[in-house]
Each structure stands twice: as C-alpha cells, then as structure tokens.
Structure 1
Amino acid sequence: MSYMKLDLQFFAADEKTEKATPKKRGDSRKKGQVPKSQDVNTGFLLLMVFGGLYLFGGQMQVSLTEMYSKTFQEYIHWELTTESTAAVFLEITVEMAKILAPIMGIAIVAGIASNLVQIGILFTGEPMKFDLKKMDPIKGAKRIFSARAIVELIKSLLKISIVGLITFAIIWVNKDQMMLMSQKSVEDALVFFGNITIIMGLASGLALLLLSTLDYVYQRYDHEKNIRMSKKDLKDEHKNIEGDPLIKSKIKEKQRQMSAARMMSEVPDADVVITNPTHFAIAVKYDEKVSDAPIVVAKGVDFVAQKIKEVAKANEVMMVENRPLARALYQSSELDRPIDEQFFKAVAEILAYVYRLEKKV
C-alpha cells in the first residue's frame, strides 16, 4: 500500500494542474509559443484588402483601361525587336506595380497590425530551428488524430460553410441584375461584377473576423493548457530562481566567515572592547578624523565574542566589563557605523578611563 501511495504522489506531482508563472510565460514567448489565431489575420486581411479595392477600385479601373488602350493603339504598331519587347515589358511592369502598390501596402500593414494586436512585438528564430522530433511519424500521427486536429477540421468546415452561404446569399439577392448584364455594355458589366465581388469580400472578411474572436479565445485557452505546470515544475523553477537551499546555506556560511575574518582584522586597531563578560563583546574605535562619534568595528556573541576577546588580548587592546552597555550596543549598533546618541556618555566615560590608563591624555 505504501508503494501505491508513493506512486500516486509521484503522478500527482507531475500532473500539470498549476497556472504558468511569469517566468514560464516569458520562456514560452521566447520560443515563439504564443496564443495566436490565423483566422484573425485572414479576416482582417480580407476586410482591409477589399476595403482598399473599394476605395481605389475606380482609379485602378482607369489605369487598367489606359494600359489596355495603349497596348492596342500604340504597342501593337511597334516593330517586334528585342529592344521594343524589353521596353513594353518594363512599362507594363511599372504600370502594374503602380496599380497594385496601394493594395499590396494595405495587405502588408494589415498582416503586421493583426499580429501586433495578438502577440505584440516578438522576434524569435526558435520555430525555424531544425528539430528531429518534428519528423517523428508516431508523433505526427498523434497530431493528425488529436483533439486539436478535430477542432481545426470543424473550424475549417464552419468557415467554408459561412463564406459559401454569404457568397450564395449575395449572388441570390442580385441574380436578377446579373441576368440583365447581357443587355449592358462591357464596362457596365465589369463595374457591376467588381462591386459584387467587393461586397462578397467585405462580408466574408467581416464574418471571418467575428468568427476569429471565438477562435482566439480557444487559442488562448489551448495555450494556457499547454503551458500549465506541475507542482514539481514550480519547485524546480523556484530552485533555479532562488538557488539550491544547500548552496545558499553554504554561501551564507562563507559570507559569515568572511565577515567574521574582516571583523577580527579590525579588533587590533580598536580603542576598547566592552564585554558582558561571557556572552557579548563589542570593539569600539574613536577617530575624530573619521567620525564625530565612536564606531563599532566588531561585535559578537558567545563563540564570536570569545574570539574578539582573544584577538584583543593578543594585541593588548583594553577590555572593560559593562554588562548592560555591551548587550545594548550589540542589539542597537551596526558594524562600521557610529554608535547611537544615547550611548555617547557611557562610551565616552569608558574611553576616558582607557585613555587615562594608557596615559593618552
């Protein structure tokens, strides 16, 4: 039974039940793993491109008509040579570039804008890196028959059905006018069918954009599900951020040792060591060139206090017993900082006593 409990605990720890941390989200983003709906791009692109056709359609028609007229009124009379063919090709290319430039510009802006709205600014080459796992036929088969693949299939069928229904409805509403186009001029017929095409494009783009809202919500849900973390993942991440507790304790111990060594090097220059006498030891130094008040250069309790007293004795630094003052200085004073004002009088009396004994005054 105990083995079964351990197994259950192990699987529970590995189960992806926790929300992703900011670090996990940042790492996923660097890898290009972000919630994104291609339908948003498609719908916005269609809407903007057909909107551009609606705005610039008349100008495009005039430019195409002029190019058509020039072809059959001027180019057709040119002598067929390499130079004339190159000239015609160059002129037609330039004219077509001028005609298509606004629409191409709108398409580029729409593509960039739709991505910025969804994922913001992101540059990463991770998705383009070669990965042998992507060529695994077993994983490929799993992706084909996965729940996500079924959802994508349903989405595609839904989009085709809606676009087809919109197209059919627009054609059905305008069927009578279409029948009458045989009685109209070619120019009138082209204008009519051009307008119908733009209307179908705008309606389809708007419908796809509305559908893409639902798809984006699903993509966000699926992304959040994929980047979920287990309790073990959270612990491992915390370890990586904060550091291994064992290593941290060793670092702290090393820092304590270095701090103690530095303190001990300051004790020989102290003027006096105020003791408890057994538990506390405070080394004080007064230098009017450095500070207006005495400075605590070393302090310690128990083992460290004994070491301070040993160093002081070895270097003939005077030690004075004052139990309440030693305890108060240890609790209230910081290393390499002047003592608090409330201790000035007591410490000054001790220093005066020491100076008298050492005949410094």
Structure 2
Amino acid sequence: MSMRMDLQYFTGEKTEKATPKKRQDTRKKGQVPKSNDVNTAIILLVVFISLMAFASIPGQFMYDLFTEAYINTSGMTFTVENTMGFLTDVTVGMVIAVAPIMLVAAFAGVVASMMQVGVLFAPEAIKPKLSKINPLKGLKRIFSARALVELTKAILKIILVGMVAFGILWLYRDDLLFLALYDVNDGFLVVSQLTVMIGIASALLLLILSIPDLVYQRFDHEKQIRMSKHDVKDEFKKMEGDPLIKAKRKQRAQEMAMNRMMQEVPKADVVITNPTHYAVALRYDGETMQAPKVIAKGVDYNALRIRQVAKKHDISMVENRPLARSLYDGASLGEDVPEDLFKAVAEVLAYVYKLNKSVQ
C-alpha cells in the first residue's frame, strides 16, 4: 500500500479530491458544473407558460398591427420611402410584441444558471484565448468521445420531442382537420393552444432528461478538478508560506485566545490595575488551589477590556501599580502567582474579601 502511494505521488496520478482553494480558483475561471440542458428546459417551460397566461396581449397587438398595415397599404403608393417606412413600422411593432417574451426568456436563463452555480461573475471565462481558435484542437473536440455523446443526446431528444408533438397533434387531429372551416380568430386560437401544449410538454420532457445530464456534469467536473498528492502538498506549502494568510491565521488565533481569556474574567476574585496601562485578573480557591492563579492579563486596550468586563460583573478592582506590572511580567496565563509576590497578593485578596464581606 505504501509503495503504491509513493508511486501515485511521483507519477502525478490525480487521486485526491480538489481542495477548497482549487475549487475557488476553478470557479473564478468559470469552470463550474453546469448543464445547458437544464437551462434550455427551464427557459422553454417559463416562456410557454408565460405565453399561455399572457399570449392574448402580444397576439392582439400583432393582430392590430397587421390590420392597420393592411388598411394603410391598400391605398399607399409604393415608393422607396413609403415602403421603407412601412417595413420600419412593422419591424418596430414586431420587436415591441416579441420583447416581453425575450425578456422572460433572458430572466429564466439567469435564474436557471443561478440555481445551478449561484451568483458567479467570471470575466476570465470570456477572455479571448488563441487556443479556442486552434483548428487542431477544434477537430479534436469535434471527433472526441464527448462530442459523440452530445450528438447521441441531441438525436435522442429530437426523437422524444417529436414523439410528444406527434402524440398531441394526434389527440387533436379532428380540430386540425376542421381548421380550414374556422375563421381567422378561432383558427389562430386553436393553433396557439396546440403550440403552447406541445411547448410545455416538450419542456417538461427536456427537464426530466436534463437531470441525468446535470448529475453527469457534476461527476465529470469533480473528475476534472482532481489533484495529485504532489499538487495538494505544493498548494499547502504555498498557503503556509503566504505572509497574508499567516498574518490572518495569527490574528484569528489571537482573537480566539483573547475571547477565551475574557470569558474567564467574571470568575476572578480581583483585578489588579496600573490603573490604565496594565490589568491582571486573579482567582483563588483555597480548597482546590495551592496559590492564586493569573486567569487574565492585558496591557492598554486589552487592559481596558478586562476592566470593562470586571466592572460589568462587579469584580473588585484594586489599583497597585508595581504589583500589576510585576504580575504581568512574571506570570503567564493559567500559572500560579510567583512566590516572591505571594505576600503582596495575599494582602490584596484579604482586603478584597474584607471589603466584600462588609458590603454584604
């Protein structure tokens, strides 16, 4: 087993899961597990549902547009200017009618992408690269196994969607046969209803078919970003050697230690101060301790915090400049008070106990 692990290390075999940093770096490059089939299915579904709910609005708009165009052109002299003006009006009208549908499709595409990868802005993904226009690499992509899989998927989807569309048309074949007998409005209504039904059914089918593709894309992404043991070790070395990361780690450790120390202050019997520059919190339990212990100490800002916590919890504070400085320099956190300071500390504790007893 050990020999195999050594062999994997030296051969660079990618057997390790990607580290959080590797995942973050690949995400910045726009390399995320994403299924385009999911986007396509959701966009189609939302667009056709929107058409089912609000198709009458753009439909009536288009009807009025072409009616007005027909009336205006019946007596119009066809010159270059008139024709260009007519075509411009029709084009603008069609854009206005189609614009809401396009906006709905764009919104659905954004939501579908966010559902898969969250909020992501990766300018590096759209940065021009010469490798993308390399004809040799293009040919490799065209004739690769992945391209063959995509082609098979496309053919399968075309066949299944065609079967769904044929099934719906077959169910409503009587309406289609009598379509020539309907007036324009009724005929348009029948055709639009069938179109929406086929669209929603096809979108639901594509959505179901996209689930395996999404699972595969995530599996393939995990496989692509795997790292070798050597890569993991190099990354760890770089992170350890980064001064910024070291500084952040040290700052966080100091903050955690300070928070733990501040949690001990309410247990103190007395806080000896300088009075502003130094503060040392002492605790003594005659049944369990041989000598008083230093449970918190600090200078300047940290001393201020210790005094604030002590004041909040009604801990006695005694000003003794030389003792505070000696305790700060001579005893570490959690250690007993040095023997040469026993007498001075005992006097302070006796004073505090006497003071507390008189208050009670």
| TM tier relative to shorter chain | 0.5 to 0.7
Q: 2:142 aligns with which of 123, 141, 144?
A: 144
Distance 1:83 1:139, change over 3 A: closer
What SS class does the counterpart of residue 177 from structure 1 fall into? helix
Counterpart code for 1:110: A
Q: Does 1:222 align with 2:212?
A: no
2:181 corresponds in structure 1 to 183
Alpha-carbon deviation of 1:293? 3.1
C-alpha separation between the residues in 1 aligned to 2:65 and 2:105? 24
Distance 1:59 1:240, change over 3 A: same
Residue deviations 1:61-85, cap 9 Å, x none?
2222211221122343345567755
Q: 1:20 aligns with which of 9, 18, 21?
A: 18
Q: 1:340 aligns with which of 334, 337, 340?
A: 337
Distance 1:236 1:114, change over 3 A: same
Q: Does 1:77 align with 2:75?
A: yes
What SS class does the counterpart of residue 40 from structure 1 fall into? helix
1:198 corresponds in structure 2 to 196
C-alpha separation between the residues in 2 aligned to 1:150 and 1:93? 40
CA contact (8 A) 1:13 1:231 kept: no
C-alpha separation between the residues in 2 aligned to 1:141 and 1:89? 43
Given the two structures, how large is their TM-score scaled by the length of structure 1? 0.65
What SS class does the counterpart of residue 25 from structure 2 fall into? helix
Alpha-carbon deviation of 1:55? 1.5
C-alpha separation between the residues in 2 aligned to 1:75 and 1:291? 104
CA contact (8 A) 1:39 1:209 kept: yes
C-alpha separation between the residues in 2 aligned to 1:162 and 1:110? 23
2:59 corresponds in structure 1 to 61
What SS class does the counterpart of residue 292 from structure 1 fall into? helix
1:52 corresponds in structure 2 to 50
Distance 1:243 1:56, change over 3 A: same
What SS class does the counterpart of residue 16 from structure 2 fall into? coil
Counterpart code for 1:219: Q
Counterpart code for 1:293: A
Residue deviations 1:87-118, cap 9 Å, x none?
54554344323322321221111111111111
C-alpha separation between the residues in 2 aligned to 1:7 and 1:203? 52
Alpha-carbon deviation of 1:290? 5.5
Alpha-carbon deviation of 1:59? 2.2
Distance 1:293 1:144, change over 3 A: same
C-alpha separation between the residues in 2 aligned to 1:198 and 1:127? 36
1:174 corresponds in structure 2 to 172
Unaligned runs of 5+ in 2: 247-318, 346-360
What SS class does the counterpart of residue 120 from structure 2 fall into? coil
C-alpha separation between the residues in 1 aligned to 2:219 and 2:4? 32
Distance 1:144 1:97, change over 3 A: closer
Distance 1:112 1:294, change over 3 A: closer
CA contact (8 A) 1:16 1:230 kept: yes
C-alpha separation between the residues in 1 aligned to 2:204 and 2:4? 55
Alpha-carbon deviation of 1:243? 2.1
C-alpha separation between the residues in 1 aligned to 2:146 and 2:17? 21
Distance 1:148 1:12, change over 3 A: farther
Q: 1:122 aligns with which of 120, 137, 161?
A: 120
C-alpha separation between the residues in 2 aligned to 1:73 and 1:144? 52
Counterpart code for 1:345: F
What SS class does the counterpart of residue 17 from structure 1 fall into? strand
Pairwise CA RMSD: 3.4
What SS class does the counterpart of residue 164 from structure 1 fall into? helix
Residue deviations 1:102-145, cap 9 Å, x none?
21221111111111111111111222233333445554444334
Distance 1:7 1:175, change over 3 A: same
Unaligned runs of 5+ in 1: 249-287, 299-328, 349-361
Alpha-carbon deviation of 1:6? 10
C-alpha separation between the residues in 2 aligned to 1:140 and 1:74? 52
CA contact (8 A) 1:13 1:232 kept: no
CA contact (8 A) 1:143 1:149 kept: yes
C-alpha separation between the residues in 2 aligned to 1:207 and 1:193? 21
**Of the two, which has the highest radius of gyration?**
1
CA contact (8 A) 1:18 1:229 kept: yes
